[in-house]
Structure 1
Amino acid sequence: MHGWTERFSARHGQAIVTRSGTRVTWTSPDGAIATYEDEPPLEDFGIVLVRRGGYAVGRVEDGRLVAHKTGTRYVQGRTKAGGWSQQRYARRRANQADALAGSAADHVVRLVPGDLRIAGGGDRALVAQVLTAADRTLDPGLRWLEVKEPRLASLERAVRDVRSYAVVLNEAARAR
Structure 2
Amino acid sequence: MVKARPAAGGGRWVEISPERLKGWLDGFYGRHNGATEDALTLTGASNGDTATLHPPPGLDGVADIDALLQGLASPPRIGLLLVRRGAAAAGVADGTTLESSKVERFYVQGRTAAGGWSQQRYARRRGNQTDAAVGETADIAARILSGRTDLAALVCGGDRPMIDLVLEDPRLERLAALRHPHLLEVPEPRLAVLEEAAVTARKVRIHLVP
Interval of TM-score (by shorter of Structure 1 and Structure 2): 0.7 to 0.9
- Give the one of 171, 180, 197 matched to 1:135: 171
Corresponding position: 1:24 with 2:63: no
Unaligned runs of 5+ in 1: 172-176
Partner residue in 2 for 1:43: 76
What's the CA shift string for 1:5-42, capped at 9, x where partnerless? 244345x333303132xx23242514422111443245
Partner residue in 1 for 2:9: none
TM-score by length of 1: 0.82
Distance in 2 between residues matched to 1:15 and 1:143, nearest whole Å? 30
Residues 28, 144 of structure 1: alpha-carbon distance in 2 compared, 3 angstrom cutoff: farther
Q: CA deviation at 1:62?
A: 5.2
Partner residue in 1 for 2:93: 60
Q: CA deviation at 1:92?
A: 1.0
8 Å Cα contact 2:32-2:44 kept in structure 1: no
Corresponding position: 1:159 with 2:198: yes
Residues 111, 66 of structure 1: alpha-carbon distance in 2 compared, 3 angstrom cutoff: same
TM-score by length of 2: 0.70
Q: CA deviation at 1:119?
A: 1.2
8 Å Cα contact 1:56-1:150 kept in structure 2: yes
Corresponding position: 1:148 with 2:167: no
Q: CA deviation at 1:106?
A: 1.4
Unaligned runs of 5+ in 2: 1-20, 55-64
Partner residue in 2 for 1:122: 158
Residues 168, 47 of structure 1: alpha-carbon distance in 2 compared, 3 angstrom cutoff: same
Distance in 2 between residues matched to 1:62 and 1:165, nearest whole Å? 13
- What's the Cα RMSD here? 2.2
Distance in 2 between residues matched to 1:170 and 1:131, nearest whole Å? 35
Partner residue in 1 for 2:51: 34
In structure 1, the residue corresponding to 2:93 is in which secondary structure? strand
Distance in 2 between residues matched to 1:149 and 1:8, nearest whole Å? 36
Residues 2, 167 of structure 1: alpha-carbon distance in 2 compared, 3 angstrom cutoff: same
Partner residue in 2 for 1:111: 144
